[in-house]
């Protein structure tokens, strides 16, 4: 769906894993490589002593660091007219695991009232809105990687309806040993496989496009669902059919079941894949945000249109279309 008026991307922010994957033990004692975010990253240090976050997991800290970068880059954002859309895959895993582990091991009467509020998906969004002083609407969406596109579409709707002047779209994933056992069960994680779990966050700030906005969000497409590899292939074809004439298509399938399907899709359609940068796989919705931020940098440098697919692991495939403000081809 092309927007009637393009949206300007006026700020971006990321929290990325540090260095090479490190071995991490699952709850059952198996060791797997994981891309972790070091607590000593300069962008995180300022938020770790925030009183509101003393009893939270690291997820709100990731979100705040990415959001602060994006808002600082945007400049002049009135917090009274700022809306927030947050997208999650697993949410506050650490607090959820601690809460239910206590219930299972010690009984319901030992359920911690300190942990329980942090098990709610909307809790990190609430912390973010409060600490940023955002007075506009705040909303959370949950899904696979494609929740990023849903969040962008919600932000576009708010802008179209005049509910906000700026929309902060933010996402984050945090690591907990519990997820390793879950990923093994669904066969996303296996010895010799390409998938490596990761954590971090990403954010963009949107507004109605202005002449100073070098990169614009001009279209999104979502809702191409799948429940098997065969269905995923059909869904991918339906998705790219929404963007006739597009040749530059970002490669986003590495480290997932989509890697082979994506390669076949590029070969069949003759897509041109710009060279990527850092490894952005393994963090689900956060990975989608990282790919978007990298793609924004490419569009800013070239001025060309670029399709950025988001290959969801379990629900749907989606995409966003970026363009330079000069629309150079």
CB-based contact 173:285 (threshold 8 Å): yes
- What pLDDT, on the 0 to 100 scale, is given for residue 326? 62
SS3 318: strand
- Topology of domain 2-208 in CATH is Peroxisomal Thiolase; Chain A, domain 1 (3.40.47)
Under 8 Å CB-to-CB from 69, ≥6 apart: which residues?
11, 12, 13, 14, 43, 203
CA distances from 308 to 105, 137, 282 (A): 45, 27, 17
pLDDT in tens, 49-95: 899 998 899 999 999 999 999 999 999 999 999 999 999 999 988 88
Q: C-alpha angle with apex 267: 265 to 272, nearest 5 degrees?
A: 95
Q: What is the predicted pLDDT for the residue at 171?
A: 98
Q: What is the mean pLDDT of residues 272-277?
A: 87
Crossing angle of helices 229-240 and 258-269, rounded to 10°:
40
Q: What is the pLDDT of residue 69?
A: 97
Q: CA 160 to CA 3: how far, in whole Å?
A: 9
pTM: 0.95
Cα distance between residue 218 and residue 22, in whole Å? 38
User: What tens digit of pLDDT does each residue of 219-269 get?
Assistant: 999 999 999 989 999 999 999 999 999 999 999 998 887 999 999 999 999
pLDDT tens figures, 214-230: 999 999 999 999 999 89
Query: Is residue 110's pLDDT more than 90?
Result: no
**How many angstroms separate the Cα of 152 from the Cα of each of 71, 91, 155, 219, 264?**
16, 18, 5, 10, 27
Burial of 196 (0-12, 13-18, 19+ CB in 10 A): middle
Domain ranges within the chain, ordered by starting residue:
2-208, 215-324
Q: Residue range 152-170: average pLDDT? A: 98
* CB-facing half-sphere around the CA of 326: CA atoms within 13 A: 8
Residue 6 pLDDT exceeds 90: yes
Q: What is the pLDDT of residues 37-49, one digit of tens each?
A: 999 998 898 888 8
């Amino acid at each position: 769906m092309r927007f009637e008026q393009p949206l300007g991307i006026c700020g971006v922010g990321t929290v990325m894993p540090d260095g090479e994957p490190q071995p991490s033990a699952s709850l059952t004692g198996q060791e797997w490589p994981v891309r972790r975010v070091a607590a000593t990253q300069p962008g995180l240090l300022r938020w770790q002593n925030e009183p509101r976050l003393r009893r939270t997991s690291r997820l709100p800290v990731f979100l705040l660091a990415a959001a602060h970068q994006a808002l600082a880059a945007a400049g002049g954002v009135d917090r009274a007219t700022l809306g927030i859309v947050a997208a999650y895959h697993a949410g506050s895993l650490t607090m959820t695991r601690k809460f239910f582990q206590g219930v299972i091991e010690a009984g319901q009467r030992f359920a911690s009232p300190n942990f329980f509020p942090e098990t709610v998906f909307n809790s990190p969004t609430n912390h973010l809105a409060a600490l940023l002083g955002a007075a506009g609407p705040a909303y959370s969406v949950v899904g696979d990687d494609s929740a990023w596109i849903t969040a962008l579409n919600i932000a576009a709707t708010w802008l179209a309806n005049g509910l906000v002047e700026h929309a902060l779209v933010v996402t984050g994933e945090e690591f907990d040993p519990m997820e390793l056992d879950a990923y093994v069960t669904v066969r996303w994680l296996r010895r010799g496989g390409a998938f490596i779990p990761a954590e971090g966050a990403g954010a963009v700030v949107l507004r109605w496009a202005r002449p100073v906005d070098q990169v614009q969000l001009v279209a999104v497409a979502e809702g191409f669902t799948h429940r098997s590899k065969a269905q995923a292939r059909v869904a991918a074809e339906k998705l790219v059919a929404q963007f006739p004439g597009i040749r530059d298509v970002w490669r986003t399938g590495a480290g997932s079941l989509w890697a082979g399907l994506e390669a076949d899709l590029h070969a069949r359609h003759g897509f041109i894949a710009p060279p990527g940068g850092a490894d952005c796989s393994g963090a689900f919705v956060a990975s989608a945000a990282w790919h978007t931020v990298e793609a924004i940098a490419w569009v800013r440098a070239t001025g060309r249109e670029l399709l950025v697919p988001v290959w969801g692991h379990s629900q749907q495939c989606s995409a966003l279309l970026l363009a330079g403000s000069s629309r150079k081809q």
